[in-house]
Each structure stands twice: as structure tokens, then as C-alpha cells.
A and B are shown apart, each in its own frame.
Chain A
Amino acid sequence: MFEFLFKYPASVFTKGTFVLLGQWPVWVLAVLAVGSAGLFGWIIYKRRTSVLPVFRGWRSVAIWGLQSALAALLLLLLWQPAISIASLKSQQNVVAVILDDSKSMAIREGDATRSAQALRVLDGGLLKGLQEKFQVRLYRVGDSLQRVEKIDTLTANAPATRLGDGLKQVMAEAASLPIGAVVLLSDGAENAGGIDLETISEIKRRRIPVHTVGFGREKFDRDIEVTDVVLPARALADSRLSAQVTLRQNGYSGKQARLTVKDGGKVLASRPVQLKGDGQQTEAIVFPAGLAGARVLQVSVDPLEGEENGANNAVTRLVNVEPRKPRILYVEGEPRWEFKFIRRAAEEDRTLEMVSMVRTTQNKIYRQGIGNPKELEQGFPATAEDLFQYDAIILGSVEAGYLTPSQQELVRDFVDRRGGGLLALGGRFALGDGSYAKTPVADVLPVVLPQSKSTFQRDQVPVVLTGPGRDSLLCRLLEDPAKNMERWTKMPKLANYQDAGTAKPGAVVLMEALVGTRHLPLLVTQNYGRGRAAVFATGGSWRWQMQQDVSDKTHEIFWQQLLRWLANETPGRMVSSTPKQVLADETRVPLRAEVRDKKYNPVTDARVEARIVGPGGVAASVELKPDPLNSGVYLGEWTADKTGSYLVEFVAKRGEEDLGHDVLTLRREDGVAENFHAEQNRDLLEKLASETGGKYWKPADVKKMSEEVSYSEAGITVRETKDLWDAPAFFLLALLLRSSEWLLRRKWGAV
């Protein structure tokens, strides 16, 4: 329809520029248009007394408007409107035709596989049409890009789809070839997590449009898939872990599935999941980390009846369970019950070590859990070396003035630079009442503290979980989410509460205190710098212990979870990482290490080495190089040639000085990537096309593709102008204006 009205396809208008080919200047057109409108207006005004009364007022304005518009349209056509567009010179440009040759293209849909459908499209005229205008280069893409001479060599057997890498390679060839456009025939089932921005930018820079043709159903009729599992790479021995499992399903709404976490053959946790409407949903499953060591965990959902693809129901993740025991420094400004019961909860957690100091009198502190008689002897640590040996800090009811300005800055640096956790509790000397509002500590806190005093109140209040709180592991007393919510409604009231102010942007309010009809933020968390901070605006959670049965462990569970969150992820002086610990049909392993000194300042002159031990006695050593963009960061790359598990030990040295070491586990698995995301990823194909100036095509519509492929600014081009004055749309518009006037006159009784 569009093409009928405007003579050319829409892409001509989006890619081209509008021009007027008339000899006279454009300002003449504007003057004439305005002049004719003025003339019509003057005539109508002069004749206002002699015309029928029915034509006076707004009706005369309507007539004037229609006449002026018609005159303007006719004048515009006299100036010869046209579209100027670049198009590829015939037979002087190359069009790269890329065929997806991955395993997912072998999925049969209807009477043929996706691969066969793609070949049918090419043979059905597309290839011939392209070859008539351009030189065509054929490629196949799977886990890599390869040039092919004939299309019948495709096997649809590549173990992975790396569209981004393939396009990047084509762009590299474009440096020496006049590539005018790319045609990609694929299901879009990309395994690398999408096409990176760098590749997209490179395509846009070269102005090469990528036209995509999508194959395969956009969703299966009946399938459930584990699309992602988010788990921390490290955990502490005996801690509890929460896996965020993303499921995607079609055709099983309202049905129940079973989610399971296994370590080898041993089931660590299993729970039913109620499936919602078609699409994605995220479920949490909590399980014990167990003893120290590398864990290869399989997170799976049991196959459902009639499932079309049963190979996408399980994924593997690695977790390194560390024997480390984080140390938490708890500073309390006065003896109080909250201190006692937090200490008792921490003492029951074998994974944590709590060191505390409480001001019993104005000039005395009482220390518990110290490692040696000198520890905290002088009170709160005054140097970075002393303070940064801890993994987390709890500030109880201790006024800001107890800390010197440099100690307050150390607390901020502890979170920002060292990457530790800070928890500020409520109390009569805490938060706003402790005069923290204008200190460096307030920068770290996830709330904007109130300027007023007397924010701490000794009145009993109930607590309520917020939406994020319901999903958070910090507030998970029972594994079943519904039972957990119910459990929280039965918790005893807090002994007291504090108005902690308002949550900062980016902070997450997990729990609120219900004070009359007001909801005050109670438990608020946020990440800050390399660390994290939380406010728990009460000193009265001890009632959860004293007011509940001896066998009840909710107080202990809550505090142990909060303390672990605070301390578990605090990094050491050396931290190693890789983007993916499980390599699904991949071999390339980027390695990254961050090295810090005792004050946790970046070390730029270290020698960092990665020593790799793998299956079948594989042993290698890679020296990491400093990242010029990030101080203290060292990068390297290695290739995992064999499938199986790898252990990578990172060692950092400066001369003879040992700066630290860290251990990372990897696993390479083959033959799994193509089992996932096997439906047509139309979003990706459409986005790729629209970002690069191409178009997404359905297989049935590709007949016109060779025409549209011509409109490109890449390669060797000529500029064409396409006349618009004879487009039917203008004729119809003129007719519409004139007939509207006539119809109005007739309606008003003047015809």
C-alpha cells in the first residue's frame, strides 16, 4: 500500500533525503504559498458581507484553510519534490550472504528443517536476484565464520552460534572489499549472549546494512527451559546459597514443575515451582554450600509431559567453597540487649568470627573474640592496615564523635576501597541521633539521615517485608516464599525503632517498621564502591529471641544471613575472575586479576601469573599484563583445549614480596550450547537489522530484498534522485482537499 501511494518502498524514504529539484529558490515557494493564503484570506474578508450568512464565522476559515492547502500543495509539486538516495553500483559491490549452520538450524519445523528452509529461500530466487546486481560471497556461521563456495555444503552441525564474532570477521574483510550489504539467514539463537556493542558500532561506522531473514518458530508450543542461573562464584563453607533460576516456558501455565540443585548425584535442594503465564519467571532456591572445595552444581527442572526440547532443562554452575572465616568487627557504644543477642547468633555460626568492643563506661571498653591481647587495645583501629583486616563492620549505638574524623574516613574507605561491608544499627547514639548526618560515614549509608534528633523511640513496633524483601535471601526464614511471608507476620514486635530518613536512589528497602500508619525504612541495603552497606534501624530485634520459643531459630537465622551478606563477598588483596566459569562449547578463557596492597590501593607494578592445571595432566602458565584502563587490574587469555574441569591459581608478586594469591575453577562442556535458546530470536534479528539500517524479513517476503539491498551507503555507490511529484498520494491529497470543500459547501446548502 505504501509503495502504491508513494511509488517507492518505505526504506527509500528512511534512507534517502528529501530534495526539491525546481530551478527557483525554495524561499520563492514559501513566499508564494504564504501569498496565496493571504490572497484567499483577503478575498474572503472583502466578500464577508455579500456571502450567505451560513458562510460567515468559522466556516469561512475552514474554506480558506482548504483552499490555501490546495494552493500550497500545487506549488510544492511545481518545485519537483524528490528523494535523493545512495544505491550500490551494479556488479561493483559485494554482498555477504551468511547462513547459520549451527545445530539449532537442524530443528525440523513443518516439512523441513530450518536449514533446509533457508536453502529453499536462497534457491527460490533470492540468490539469483542478488547475483544479478552484486557479487555474492557465501559464508556459514557456527562457532566460527567460514567462507563456502556452494550452499549445499551446509551441515547444520556447528556446536554453537556466534553471530557477533562472525559479523566482526565480515567487517574485517570489508576493509579490503567493497561490501555493500550483509544478508544473514539465521534463527538468531546466539549463544554468546547477544551481539556486543563494539561489533554493532563497527557495522554502523562502515554503514553496512545487515538484512536478516528469520527462521524457526518464535516459541515452542510446549517447552520449559532453564535460561539462566545466577550464583556467586565463591561461598563460605557451611553457608547457605541462593540460586536465582530463570525459567522460560510455553504451554505449561498453571502446571507445577520441580526445581532441583545437585552436587554430583547428591540432591542439595529440591522444591516445586508453580508455573505462571507463558514466558519467563525467576525462582530462588536455597541450598547448603557444604564443606570447602570446588562444587560442580547442576540446576535443573524436571522434564514435563510432552516437552519438545528436553535438553534445555539443566545447566551447570561452579562454586568455589572457601574455608575462609570472615572477621566482623562490632563496635557498640553502650551495653545493650541487641549486642548480646547478635553476638550469640554469630557465635552459633561456624562460618563467621565476631570481634567486638563495647563501651561499658566512659573510659573502658570490653573486648570479646579478639585474636591477641593487643587487638583493639587502643579502641577503634586508627590505621587502614588495622581496620582493613576485618571483612565487615557493625556500628551499634555509638556516636559519631567517638570516632575521630580520620577514623570516620577510614570507615568510608573500608567500604569504598577495601570492599568491606558496613552495617549501621539503630540506637540512642546511632544514625541521626549519633550525629552521623554530616560525616563521611553518611556517604556510605543507604539512607539520607534526618537532620533532626530524637529519631530513636523505645516503642514496640511490628515489621513488614517489602516486595524486594520477600525475594531477598536476607529475609528468608523459611524456604517456601509463601510460608516465609506468613512467618514474618507472626514475628514479635521490635523493642524499639529509629527513623533512619529516606532510602537513597539505588538503595533497596527490604523491611519496614510499621509505626501507626507510617512505614519507616527499617532494613535498607546498597552497594557502595567495592563494598556494601546496610542500615537496620532498630536496637530491638532481641525480642525475636526472647519472645519466641527456645526451639525457634528465626532470630539466629536472620542475623546469620545478614552477617554473611555483610562479610562473605569482601574481597581479599587479590581477586581473580573470568566472565564465564562454565564454557559451553567455548575454548577462549579471558583471565582477570585485581591486585591491591595492604591499604587496598591498586598495585600497578606486580608480576601476576596464572598457573593452570586441567584434565589429562594439562598444565600451563599465563602471565597477565596490566590493563592500561584500570589501575591494579591485570588481564590475560588462555585456551581450554580439552573438555573437563580446570583449576587456575593466580599468584601476584612484587620483587620477592608476595602480594597474594587466589584460586579459580573452570569447566569446559561441549555439545550443550545449541540446546538452549533454540527458538527463533526475532528480537535480536530485528534489532540487528534496525541498528544497522537493514531490515528484518520473513522468508515469504524476501522476493523484494534484492531491490532494497541496493540502497546502501557502503561499498561503491551512486546517488539517485527519485521523483515524487507524480506519486499517487499527492494526486489523492489534492482530490481530497478539493472534494472536502465541495462536500462542505454542499452540506451548508451552498451547492
Chain B
Amino acid sequence: MEWVGLVWAGTAIAYAILGTFRGHVVPMRFRNVIASVVVGLAIWSALFAFQRRMRSFDEEDDPAPMPADAGEKTEFSFARLRYKDAPTAGYRRGNWTIDYPKADRQFLQGVRRLTRIHTRSVEEVVDFEGDQIFDWPWLYAVEVGHWYLDDDDAKKLRDFLQRGGFLMVDDFHGTHEWQVFIAGIKKVFPDRPIVDIPDKDPAFHVLYDLDERFQVPGIQYFYTGRIYEYDGVDPEWKGIYDDKGRLMVAICHNMDLGDAWEHADHPRYPEKFSSLAYRVGINYIIYSMTH
């Protein structure tokens, strides 16, 4: 969309040059009004384009400083899916923003340090508009117990996954949120089963051997001491596979890896949870880049 700003800026400059130096058939009074509108639009468009490019949204849940190398062009970035909320969601900023952007950036630091993946230091927010989603084959969606996919969104997500994209969903708990998630994902794949990912699946071994997996709690653990939310007592490592047995959707139900990334630097958040969350996240990324 950067071209919108460029077109407007070009138009404004051309108009100003024509009007100022060569005279114009439009009377001076109207000309000033038109020029002001055009220049205003150009500035607005340029700002819009810039924001689109950096994908910086003001709906941040947990602000984090923008790294100096945020504009670096890389092979990978943490692509966070911006979806519509279900009518029952009731969260002002949109549930897709939970933990954003600190969880993303803190996790990416780990990806940089622990792997050879060439990753950007900041996330990329993608939505179902246009074809931008297809440039980010690894996608993360948080709080999918509150998402809503209309038919167009579902078709695009289905295309994304069938072409070779990978979706990791996280941070939704209990029966009700599972049902909301199912309502959306069944629009994507009405007939494809959701199954437990076997322990021997390469997704749990591609870099780290993750035979010992346990429930990773969210920040509420600080206050309640509970590691689960609602009736989501047991962590579920589920997935949806394609016809060739490749994992397309990794479902982290009854756990909150996003919080574990976000609060990895918090002295009260146990290291073992963050450690597992990092290893799971990295394994899913490397799996998606190798399978």
C-alpha cells in the first residue's frame, strides 16, 4: 500500500509546481483550497503507508521499545494474525493483540540467539486483506477462543495452509473457548480431523526433543497460583495434518506460551515455563521451514 502515499505525494508536488510556476486556469482562491486538500491527503497517505509498512498498531497490549534494526529485511519474522473478534469477546483492543508486541519481540530474541534463522527483531502483523498473508508462511494467532472468521477469512486461511503455510494457535482455555475456536477452524477445514500430535512427531524433535511437555500457565499464575484457566486443566497439544501427514496447524490449548515469552524476563515467572515455551515455539518454526 506504500504506493498510495507515493501517488498522492507525486500528485501534490506536480500540482504545486504547475500551479505555482506555470499559472493555472483554476482561480487562485480555489487553487489554494484544492492544493491544501491534496497536500493534506498526501501527508495522510504517506503516514498511512509508513504505518502499514512498519505494522505498528496503537492497540498494543504490552508496549516494547522499537529495536534499531526493526527495518531489517530478513527471511523470517513473527507474523501475528490480526483477526476479527467474536461478538462475545468483549475486549476493547481486539483479542489478537494480547501480549503484543512484547511477547513477539522477546521470543524473536530467543530465535536469533538459539538458531541460524535469519529473523527480524520485530513482529509482522498480517490480516486477511489482500495477499500479504502469503508472504509470511509461519503465522501465530493468540486467544483464538475469541476469534471470528467469516467465509472470506476462512477461505484465505484455507488457501494459506494448503499452499504450504503454517499456523500456530495459542492461549485459549477451557471448553467454551475451544468451541469458539472450533467454530472458526471448521469453516477452514470442515472435514479435516483435529488430532493429538504424537510424541514421535518431528515437530517435537526437529531441534529440541520435547518428550517432556507440561502445562505452561499465563500471567494469572502470579495472582492465583493456578497453572490452568477455566476448566482447561489438561494441556492439549493438538494439530491438523495435510494429506501427506504434514502438520499445518499446531494447536496449543489450555496453555499460554505467549505469556511465557512475554514474561520470560519477569523475576516471578518461573524459568521452566518460559524455557519450554521457547523450545516449543522454535520447534514449530523450524518444523514449518523444513516440512
Query: Interface of A with B (CB < 8 Å)?
Result: 333-337, 339-341, 343-344, 347, 358-362, 364, 366, 368, 428, 458-459, 495, 539, 542-543, 545-550
Contacts and interface: CB of A to CB of B under 8 A. Distances in A.
Interface string B66-103: 00000001111000000000000000000000000000
Nearest to B283: A360
B162 A546 contact: no
Contact of A360 (B116, B131, B135): B116
Contacts of B164: 340-341, 344, 542, 545-546
Interface in B254-291: 285-286, 288-291
Contacts of B290: 335, 339-340, 343, 358, 366, 368
B137 interface: yes
Contact of B131 (A359, A366, A547): A547
Given A340-B164, A341-B164, A546-B163, A366 B207 contact: yes
A358 B202 CA distance: 14
A459 B73 CA distance: 8
Contacts of B114: 361
B72 to A, nearest CB: 9
Nearest to A362: B116
A360 B159 contact: no
B189 to A, nearest CB: 13
23 contacts: A334-B116, A335-B76, A335-B289, A337-B75, A337-B137, A339-B289, A339-B290, A340-B164, A340-B288, A340-B289, A343-B290, A360-B116, A360-B207, A360-B286, A361-B116, A366-B207, A428-B118, A459-B73, A495-B135, A545-B164, A546-B160, A546-B165, A550-B159
B116 A359 contact: yes
Contacts of A335: 76, 115-117, 285-286, 289-290
Contacts of B131: 547
A379 to B, nearest CB: 14
A336 B163 contact: no
A347 B244 contact: yes
Nearest to A356: B290
A458 B207 contact: no
Interface in B154-177: 159-160, 162-165
B137 A542 contact: yes
Contact of A366 (B160, B244, B286, B288): B286
A133 B42 CA distance: 101
B115 A361 contact: yes
A343 to B, nearest CB: 7
Contacts of B237: none
Contacts of A339: 289-290
Contacts of A359: 116
B163 A545 contact: yes
A364 B208 CA distance: 10
Given A336-B118, A360-B206, 6 more contacts: A333-B116, A336-B289, A343-B290, A359-B116, A458-B75, A546-B137
A334 B131 CA distance: 26
Contacts of B118: 334, 336, 428
Nearest to A347: B244
Nearest to A543: B135
B134 interface: yes
A339 B288 CA distance: 11
B135 A334 contact: no
Contact of A550 (B163, B288, B291): B163
A715 B290 CA distance: 78
Interface string B32-72: 00000000000000000000000000000000000000000
A539 to B, nearest CB: 8
A344 B75 CA distance: 18
B134 A546 contact: yes
A285 to B, nearest CB: 32
A337 B117 CA distance: 10
Nearest to B138: A337
A459 B135 CA distance: 12
B112 to A, nearest CB: 11
Interface string B238-250: 0000001000000
Contacts of B291: 340, 343
Instruction: Pick from B114, B131, B206, B290 the residue with the most CB of A within 10 Å.
Output: B290
A54 B278 CA distance: 107
A350 to B, nearest CB: 13
Instruction: Pick from B114, B131, B134 the residue with the most CB of A within 10 Å.
Output: B134
A542 B116 CA distance: 19
Given A336-B75, A361-B114, A550 B289 contact: no
Contacts of B137: 337, 340, 542, 546
Nearest to A361: B115
A261 to B, nearest CB: 32
A337 B289 contact: yes
B258 to A, nearest CB: 22
Contacts of B206: 360, 366
A428 B162 CA distance: 28
A340 B289 CA distance: 5
A458 B289 contact: no
Contacts of B289: 335-337, 339-340
Instruction: Pick from B164, B207, B286 the residue with the most CB of A within 10 Å.
Output: B164
A333 B160 CA distance: 26
Nearest to A495: B135
Nearest to A368: B290
Contacts of A550: 159, 162-163
A550 B162 CA distance: 6
Nearest to B285: A335
B157 to A, nearest CB: 12
A547 to B, nearest CB: 5
A546 B163 CA distance: 6
A334 B163 contact: no
A349 to B, nearest CB: 13
Contacts of A539: 75
Instruction: Pick from B114, B116, B117 the residue with the most CB of A within 10 Å.
Output: B116
Contacts of A495: 135
A549 B134 CA distance: 11
A546 B288 CA distance: 13
A545 B163 CA distance: 6
